[in-house]
Amino acid sequence: MKKYIFILLAALTFVACNNDEEINGYKDIQPIKESEIPLEIVEFFNIQENYVINYHLSYFEFTSPCYIINNQKELKNIYWGSKDLPQIDFSKYSLIMGVTRFPDGRYYIGGKKIKESDNNLMVDITIKKGDCGIASICWAFFWGLYPKSTSKSLNVNLINEDGTPFVFPQTSFDTLMKVPFE
């Protein structure tokens, strides 16, 4: 009898700890660990992550807040810098990259979570707020290498640490210029 109870408990533990569980038709997708990504890719993108867009990211043409890139041509289509793009094995990986804006320099990207359904990716970007920063609108870049995805559509959600939607505070500056991605 004890043997059967142990087997039952082991099975329940396995089911409860399974990270691949689908919730509402979406499955969490884990990024490739940085230690498993070729150094040239990490160096190319890490120099840009969480930096202000007007310097490093001026070489990417973001007409959308987030991209899923599945081949080198798609990456070249949004890049016009002079530095050579890293070679990514798109037969194994998808590159998810994007940009978001913050009301000021106190805000930063606290985390990314990617979920996938049959043909849709959902990107949840957690926005955190620090204690100090510059008082101007800032842009932050994010990226990740993920197992190859065949998803065709992409949804991006900006959320606060507590899970509520991030709402960009309106400023008088916003009325003077059109702000992309809204």
Q: Give how many domains the chain has, as a whole number.
A: 1
* pLDDT reported for residue 24: 77
SS3 63: coil
1 confidence band (pLDDT: 50, 70, 90): low
**Is residue 15 domain-resident?**
no
* pLDDT reported for residue 147: 95
Q: Measuring CA to CA, which residue among 40, 116, 125, 49 is closest to residue 85?
A: 40
Query: What are the phi and psi torsion angles at 77 (to 5°)?
Result: -65, -25
| Contact call for residues 66 and 98 (beta carbons, < 8 A) | yes
CB crowding 20-32: b at 16 or more within 10 Å, else e:
eeeeeeeeebebe
For 90-117, write each residue's pLDDT tens digit.
999 999 988 887 877 888 888 899 999 9
* Distance, CA of 159 to CA of 125 (rounded, Å): 6
Q: Which residue segment(s) compose the domain that 34 sits in?
A: 22-176
**Is residue 121 domain-resident?**
yes
For 122-161, write each residue's pLDDT tens digit.
999 998 888 877 767 777 788 899 999 988 888 989 999 8
**Is residue 41 domain-resident?**
yes
pTM: 0.73
Amino acid identity, residue 45? F
**Is residue 100 domain-resident?**
yes
User: Is pLDDT above 90 for 89?
Assistant: yes
**Is residue 107 domain-resident?**
yes
Q: Is 87 exposed, middle or buried (CB count within 10 Å of its CB: 0-12, 13-18, 19+)? A: exposed
For 42-73, write each residue's pLDDT tens digit.
888 875 444 444 344 567 777 778 899 999 99
**Is residue 10 domain-resident?**
no
